[in-house]
Amino acid sequence: MAGPGDAASAALDELSLNFSYWVPGAGNGSLSGAWYRRNQIHLLGVLLAILGNLIISISLNIQKYSHLQLAQQEYPRPYFKSVLWWAGILLMAVGETGNFAAYGFAPITLIAPLGCMSVTGSAIISVTFLKENLRASDLLGTTLAFAGTYLLVNFAPNITQAISARTVQYYFVGWQFLVYVILEILIFCILLYCYKRKGMKHIVILLTLVALLASLTVISVKAVSGMITFSMTDKMQLTYPIFYIMFIIMIASCVFQVKFLNQATKLYNTTTVVPVNHIFFTTSAIILFQCSCVEHLQQSYIDFGNIPDFYDYYLHRETNVGQNTTRFK
């Protein structure tokens, strides 16, 4: 019978194989052909996320440049009448589309940390083209961001969960998610009151609003992309009402995110806005992740029972109508 020592030795042997890239033969390392075949879908998601975040960093700097140009005019026009600003918005839409697709190919724990690519890309672009200052603390922060991203991506669970409408519905009415959403709405309303009524436009207020909306965006994007992927590989999920609820949440949160993020880039340097936004977004994502990890009271707080999709509803209805027609003949 194998003892604890044998189990530990086997674990160390497996770990050594994972890092033994130089061993001849097929190998079991992370660069082997078998590893690539197992993870090529995740690699596609990572590539889409990296490209998407780099495009987003370009779009933010283009929007910042448009604000600087308008500020130099004697009679500045509204920013939404600037062609350059709309070009930045279009690029942002392209980048977010890449992120949306990435969530369909890889888990959140793998895609979300790659947002640091926008921090690095924005720092390089803003210093090179906008002539913003780059401090030693910025370089240190970028290095730490890369180190943290490597640790998160390398040690995150390599598991992709099939997301169906039933799964989304179950977690949507769970008490953990309901508590998180209620607290988020309260905080959002307080900050929005300070921003609108009190005229407080501090970067912390603006980017906290963005982060709160971004956490909902991540949830809804993962749900929508997961249900679309499930529809393509298994059963159609687009007939469930929960799909359209999450789709509306995704669009609304994205639109208001752009509004507050644009206000922040207008008032503050890009080298400040992008890193702070990444930190706030990551913090909100961590809090959401901790809420989802609570293992107690796993039953849904609201019991919807077995909610049928539109197709099941009408099929059941037509069956009943046919039976009633036969009965009265």
Between 39-43, 78-82, 88-92, 177-181, the lowest mean confidence (pLDDT) is in: 39-43
Average confidence (pLDDT) over 245-253: 91
Q: ∠ at Cα 158 (153, 162), nearest 5°?
A: 125
Residue type, 52: G
Query: Is 285 within 8 Å of 112 (Cβ atoms)?
Result: yes
pLDDT for res 21: 34
Residue 1 has pLDDT above 80, yes or no: no
Which residue, among 47, 33, 282, has the nearest Cα to 151 in the 3D structure?
A: 282
pLDDT for res 28: 43
Residue 54 and residue 95: Cα distance in Å, rounded? 8
Query: Is 261 within 8 Å of 192 (Cβ atoms)?
Result: no
Which residue, among 74, 68, 54, 55, has the nearest Cα to 120 in the 3D structure?
A: 54
**Three-state secondary-structure class, residue 174:** strand
Residue 162 has, within 13 A of its CA and on its CB side, a CA count of 9
**Three-state secondary-structure class, residue 19:** coil
pLDDT for res 226: 85
Share of the chain above pLDDT 70, in %: 74
Average confidence (pLDDT) over 30-48: 71
Exposure string over 181-200, b if 16+ CB within 10 A, otherwise e? beebeeebeebeeebeeeee
pLDDT for res 292: 63
Average confidence (pLDDT) over 276-286: 81
How confident is the prediction for the chain on average, in pLDDT?
A: 76
Extract the tokens encoding 221: 């994007």
pLDDT bin (cut points 50, 70, 90) of residue 207 is very high
3-state secondary structure 204-227: HHHHHHHHHHHHHHHHHHHHHHHH
Average confidence (pLDDT) over 121-144: 82
pLDDT bin (cut points 50, 70, 90) of residue 25 is very low
pLDDT bin (cut points 50, 70, 90) of residue 206 is very high
- Which residues 6+ apart lie within 8 Å of 220 measured at CB? 246, 247, 249, 250, 253
Query: Is 244 within 8 Å of 224 (Cβ atoms)?
Result: no
pLDDT for res 153: 72
Extract the tokens encoding 181: 């959403």
Average confidence (pLDDT) over 210-227: 87
pLDDT for res 248: 93
> pLDDT digits over 70-91, tens only?
888 878 788 888 899 899 999 9
Query: Is the sign of the CA dihedral 43, 44, 48, 51 positive or negative?
Result: positive
Query: What predicted TM-score, i.e. pTM, was given to this entire model?
Result: 0.70
Query: Is the sign of the CA dihedral 179, 181, 184, 186 positive or negative?
Result: negative
Between 60-69, 128-137, 183-192, 296-305, the lowest mean confidence (pLDDT) is in: 296-305
More confident residue, 190 or 311: 190
pLDDT bin (cut points 50, 70, 90) of residue 159 is low
Q: Is 56 exposed, middle or buried (0-12, 13-18, 19+ CB in 10 A)?
A: buried
pLDDT for res 160: 62
Residue 9 has pLDDT above 80, yes or no: no
Residue 102 has pLDDT above 90, yes or no: no
Share of the chain above pLDDT 90, in %: 12
